[in-house]
Structure 1
């Protein structure tokens, strides 16, 4: 009887990104029917967002399936819906383990307009990757010899390059290689500088096997297929939330003769009484709004964890050209500034030198599908400043950059399109990283439902999902999906009689 009553529970999911959609799907699959999804914008998908550059599809948001193997729920859904090419679904592709860093075929260009020889770049790149792998070991060892990944890598590089022998010009170029790779890692981690990423927690992130792959028809195709499984009218768009009143803090939470512990108040004045609310908004949004978003306010421990955790910006600048200036097998173009004599992954003047934070371009492949399109990557405050410039200003700067590094003053992009995640009012950045002073305990604390103590502690009034609540897969689409399903399963288990639960109490 308790389970049947549970199926009548009113559940509100805040956010129609993949985490919220996944939660709604799972609740429906288990028989819950009073489920409402509230989305602040006019579209589904959240940080999964496919756009166009001319007639070509480009990913404004999430780009790859990271670790496309059977352990990855996004990959399983993509296969189920037939959204991937045959190569991406082969057992061979699923078995490749690249530890989160695909082996791209690279070209290195310098700011003097010349291409650098692999004899210079490859040994330094290999040393850097070895140090990056070492940075991930400290989590398993339970120690932190230095506060940040950036400080650790730079110290070890200085030691490796400090013998005083060799050409001093070559030494500058070697440091330049490291700087470029650090800027690239800022994009991977979604941080302003690797000096802000906690060394002791860096290895908490888990990689899955499989060579990263993309959606030929766009990542939003997955969102479209998932949305088809939700009943029409379940999602209400353009419904930003003003306040979530929980623990019976608002006496007006009544519906059909019942009193509800939670009331979701929207900015347009609409209210939704609920037994449970699943919050899937970004960590960036929580950082900015948590003090006013909840009544009563969040417990101090949860609020402190939100502030300790890192949430940064990683943007893309897509560039379409008439003809390629790169070789047919090139997959990534690294840019090395020869005037950067010290080890650093951020610029001295964001407003005038922001483009120096752009570490390079990935080549959209295959050319038969995309034509000649590059994707430039830029993270941190330099990226946030780029968002404030006009598209014409960005295009001019990127044109000058390409001409400078190729040594060809005639190359002129046809058009560009860029992402602007920091100034998106409902994301406030790109994704989560483990900041200095942050640990897995903070992610666990964020994921803990409310109330966390007192007589109502088991009522699961406010639950938290989204990529920031996933200790193993933060910053990823599969981490967000897994977290949404986790919180839905928490409610399923909550209403399932013990006699019907499996050995782990998690399945009917």
Structure 2
């Protein structure tokens, strides 16, 4: 083994919340011989904070969704245990704060009418997809398709922002319908550091110094067999283990960043390709002063434009950070990709145009702008997974199922809560438990095999002992006795060879 080869029991790819929660479960069950390989220079994955305009903003996951129900959201519990600062987000009035391009707010009754129409359209679209699967595809009625700016805005809110999942949404039915924005200078990622502190070594300044976590390790190849898995990174290092937990994002799995040898089976790749990747971009703008309403029910407001998703959904940060003078506008999918590909100055110009349509020509130019680029990030390739409306149970089973020693984790492997932080957290726990169960089964099989082997070996050893202790020459042993002992020896050897062959097939 060369100097850059590391051997461990388990390799974990990715130090997001799935990878960290998976490692924690391993340690709690006595498996401390693991290594975590993280492509970036930090832990957290798609949970990331940045300092902007004097506050800490969440460029990735920003909310704890699913609070206030009979069952407690595990991430909400972690937040409470860690003393994480959060702020309640009230979306109830967002759909009625819709501005046209002349700065007028649509009457609430009209907005409600268009919202109800959008819901009807969504139901018709679902029926259309079901009919298509049955071979009875029909086009939507032209009168139902969204055309006007307000229709396009509400359609965007309904499908891309508010309810990108199929109803009922498990997060809200299981954990509650309230959502809380993380508003803490330590960031959402603080929860991961608190979790990591329970099993990794930290320096006094809260820096991780444990060699089992290796940052800036970009995995380029995963070679696996029935017995082990070998990982090669772009810096030329090699890592070998008995098992692997792969918590790379669905976007990375759909890309060509990692090569598998042999290639993943067809059923696995088909399941991966069926799962969509959502790009969700929160653009932050810092202003010299407030020019937008900040009273009750005004935290969220909507811009109706003739282009769907064009700087549609806005939020001010005054509830979370009073006096911050920061606005956030959310883009998704194709608009996100378009904006990521252009200069920030161009994005600022476009955003200012939308704001001046809503609030007048005297709106001041933003002093700062922050544009995250999750799609261009080759270690993420998107924000979160989104299964098609008519996905089957088999799609979820296949995307989660292990391939040899490789166990798959991440929010996309959680059938009930995919797309959420708590889904990623629970996926890490579930994956480690599945791996531990596999280890237990193999241990039991090996013990049984060892006992079986011993039972066959004992007569062979006894025969050998008697053979050497007899102190007789072949001429002194009858031909019949020699033949009988050789026949017994041949049977034992053939049985052992059969056992070894079966052992190779099992692994």
Residue 32 (structure 1) shift: 0.7
3-state secondary structure, aligned to 1:65: strand
1:17-67: CA deviation from partner (whole Å, max 9, x where unpaired): 001001001111111110110001101000001112210121100010110
1:480 aligns with 2:424: yes
Show the counterpart of 2:199: 230
1:289 equivalent among 241, 256, 278: 256
Specify which of 158, 163, 180 is matched with residue 143 of structure 2: 158
CA drift at 1:222:
1.3
- Rounded Cα–Cα distance in structure 2 between residues aligned with 1:136 and 1:29: 47
Q: Distance in 2 between matches of 1:331 and 1:440?
A: 38
Larger Rg: 2
Q: Distance in 1 between matches of 2:182 and 2:124?
A: 31
Match for 2:112 among 113, 122, 127? 122
Structure 2 gap segments, 5+ residues each: 1-6, 202-209, 445-507
Q: Across the two proteins, how many residue pairs are aligned to each other? A: 416
Match of 1:206 among 131, 154, 170: 170
Query: Is the contact between residue 205 and residue 474 of structure 1 (CA under 8 Å) also seen in structure 2?
Result: no
1:39 equivalent in structure 2: 38
Query: For 1:199-255, what per-residue CA distance to the aligned partner results, in whole angstroms no more than 9, with x for missing partners?
Result: xx834852231410122312122122122223232210000111111115xxxxxxx
Distance 1:448 1:42 in 2: 29
For residues 334 and 189 of structure 2, what CA distance do their matches in structure 1 show?
28
TM-score (norm 2): 0.74
Q: Distance in 1 between matches of 2:111 and 2:436?
A: 53
Q: Distance in 2 between matches of 1:243 and 1:497?
A: 28
Q: Give the unaligned 5+ runs of structure 1.
A: 1-7, 94-100, 162-170, 195-200, 249-259, 346-355, 452-460, 501-508
**What RMSD over aligned residues (CA atoms) do the two structures have, in Å?**
3.3
Please state if 1:336 is matched with 2:307.
no
Tell me, in whole angstroms, the C-alpha distance in 1 between the residues paired with 2:168 and 2:403: 25
Pair 81,274 (structure 1): closer, same or farther in 2 beyond 3 Å: same
Structure 2 counterpart of 1:180, from 121, 146, 153? 153
User: CA deviation digits over 1:242-273, x for unaligned, max 9?
Assistant: 1111115xxxxxxxxxxx51111111121111
In structure 2, do the counterparts of structure 1 residues 113 and 400 end up closer, same or farther at CA, with 3 Å as the change threshold?
Answer: same
* Mapping 1:363-442, distance limit 5 Å: 363-366=316-319, 368-369=321-322, 371-435=324-388, 438-442=391-395
Which residue of the partner structure matches residue 74 of structure 2? 73
Q: 2:121 and 2:438 mapped to 1: Cα distance?
A: 45
Q: Would the aligned equivalents of 1:102 and 1:212 in 2 still touch at CA under 8 Å? A: no
What does residue 198 of structure 1 align with? none
Contact 2:281 2:336 in 1 (8 A): yes
> Aligned with 2:430: secondary structure?
helix
Task: Give 2:130's aligned residue.
Answer: 144
